Amino acid sequence: MNLWSLALTLFGNGSLSNTEEGPQKGTSGGIGTDSGIAVSDERSLKVSAVWACVQYITNSVCSLPLDFYEKTLDGRKELTDHYLVDLFHVSPNSLMKPRDFRKAMTLQLCIWSNAYAEIFWNSKGTRPIAIVPLRPGRMTPYIAGGELVYHYMTDKGVRIYSKKSILHLKGFGTNGIVGLERQSYARQTMGLSVSADVYASKQFAHGGNSGAGYISFDQFLTKEQREQARALYEGFHETAYNKGKARILEGGSKWNETGLNPDTMQMIETRKMQLGEIARYFGVPEILIGAGGTTSSWPASFEQQLLSFLTFTLQDYLDEWESAIKASLLIGSDKRKYFADHDVTGFIKMDSPAKAQLQASWVQNGLKTRNEIRKINNDSPIVGGDDLTVQVNLTPVQDLPKAITN
């Protein structure tokens, strides 16, 4: 790579890619499956279990408030006037609402385990002024000259972005550069599920029969008779099935069914099993997509299922969002000064008595002030509600006389 190409690469001004440089891949290779059906990303979304998993993860992540804070000696201070607040609370770009942007990026991360957005900086390069999602299927991270760059395929060729110009959310991977694409590794499971859907659809279309079979005759045919039979019956069973017609067979001919019936193929059990397989690939509790069996599963209660979903699935998405924002949208000393944090307290919806008991315990044990509780419940603050209080009966034994005197 010459100096001019290297300069274009580092500053992200665009250049044709050098095929000798190594791409960083996150795929398992190939799009075909053993079921004989090639499953594209769009086709997999037509599987109800995939759609449900992607929808639950995306909507759950984007429903959690994303706030920004400044580290202080006393803890942290919420930011209200900062460019991160403008990007994620007001407008990430001229085309999208903040929620639209977060949904698009989270869905990309969920399906492809990678999500990319172009960062537009101000003229001084000191703060981002817009972030626009890119298509992950067109992006390939490269290691070029010891630097990480991004090659993006467009209708005019390959555009090369510097690391500073890309917000990259990634799932877990082997090299730390690109996430392992979930859809690529799950294609066999997806292919089996798609095959089961297609087979079930054809069963219904054919009145519960596969339509596969052959015509037999009770005697040997001459050459002319074979040609006549072929012209008369070839493809006739498919036409009859598709149009709901009855077969008319003559001269001692007999139709023999060769397709396996749904009971033999255990289609219902297969489709149920695939729901669980897909749920495991996405880390979604089976009960959320209607894949729970008749036996109880761990954890037992629905609330525990949601806590498990938050802890083992959603938290990884939240952590990736927060770390990517710090790595890509903050520069210099701001990386140590500011940070993003999701508020997950509203994710678990409790009944009123349990909620009241929990909040009362926070106040009584000095964990939260009354005004903090009122803010959670969308109530206005009250005078004197900013003091932490504890119950007198929790006073240490040696201080009881003093408490009684007071």
In the prediction, which pLDDT does 264 show?
46
Helix (H, G, I), strand (E, B) or coil at 68: strand
Prediction pTM value: 0.69
C-alpha of 132 from chain center:
19
Q: Is the peptide bond before 299 cis (omega within 30 degrees of 0)?
A: yes
- Write down the mean pLDDT value for the chain: 76
Q: Select the highest-mean-pLDDT range: 50-64, 255-269, 390-404.
A: 50-64
The single residue listed with the structure tokens 């894949």 is 291
Which of left, alpha, beta for 227 (phi over 0: left; psi -120 to 50: alpha)?
alpha
Tokens read off for 197: 């859907």
Segment (H or E) for 133? strand 128-134
At 164, the amino acid letter reads K
- Report percent pLDDT > 70 for the chain: 64
CA atoms within 13 A on the CB side of 111: 22
Q: Specify the higher pLDDT residue, 241 or 250.
A: 250
CB 317 within 8 A of CB 155: no
User: Which range among 30-44, 148-162, 317-331, 382-396 shows the weakest confidence by mean pLDDT?
Assistant: 30-44
| pLDDT attached to residue 321 | 97
Residue 257, helix vs strand vs coil: strand
- Four-point Cα dihedral 213, 219, 222, 223, nearest 10: 10
| Candidate from 4-18, 246-260, 327-341 with smallest mean pLDDT | 4-18
Is the confidence at residue 339, as pLDDT, over 80?
A: yes
The Cα–Cα gap between 62 and 306 comes to 16
Using DSSP, state whether 162 is helix, strand or coil.
strand
Residue with tokens 């074979």: 226
Which of 78, 98, 93, 119 minimizes the C-alpha distance to 330?
Answer: 119
Ramachandran category for residue 157: left, alpha or beta (phi over 0 → left; psi -120 to 50 → alpha): left
SS3 content of the chain, % helix, strand, coil (to 5): 45, 15, 35
Q: What order do you get walking across the sheet with 22-23 strand by strand?
A: 22-23, 139-144, 147-154, 157-162
Residue whose C-alpha is closest to residue 22's, from 155, 156, 163, 149: 149
pLDDT at 247 over 80: no
295-to-170, 250, 300 alpha-carbon distances in Å:
35, 54, 10
Element (H, E) at 27: none
pLDDT in tens, 68-115: 999 988 889 999 999 999 999 999 999 999 999 999 999 999 988 899
Residue that wins the pLDDT comparison between 131 and 247: 131
Q: Which of 8-17, 58-67, 199-208, 245-254 has the lowest mean pLDDT?
A: 8-17
Would you give the distance in Å from CA 67 to the centre of its chain?
21
Residue 137 is classified by DSSP as G
Whether 193 has a pLDDT exceeding 80, the answer reads no
Cα separation, 205 vs 4, in Å, equals 62
pLDDT of residue 235: 60
Any idea of the CA torsion for 138, 143, 148, 153, to the nearest 10 degrees? -20
Q: Is the distance from CB of 346 to CB of 358 less than 8 angstroms?
A: no
The alpha-carbon radius of gyration of the chain (Å, integer) is: 31
- Strand locations in 136-216 (E): 139-144, 147-154, 157-162, 166-170, 213-216
Angle, CA 383 vertex, CA 378 and CA 388 arms, to 5°: 80
**Residue 99 to residue 103: CA distance in whole angstroms:** 6
Handedness of CA 315, 316, 321, 323 (dihedral sign): positive
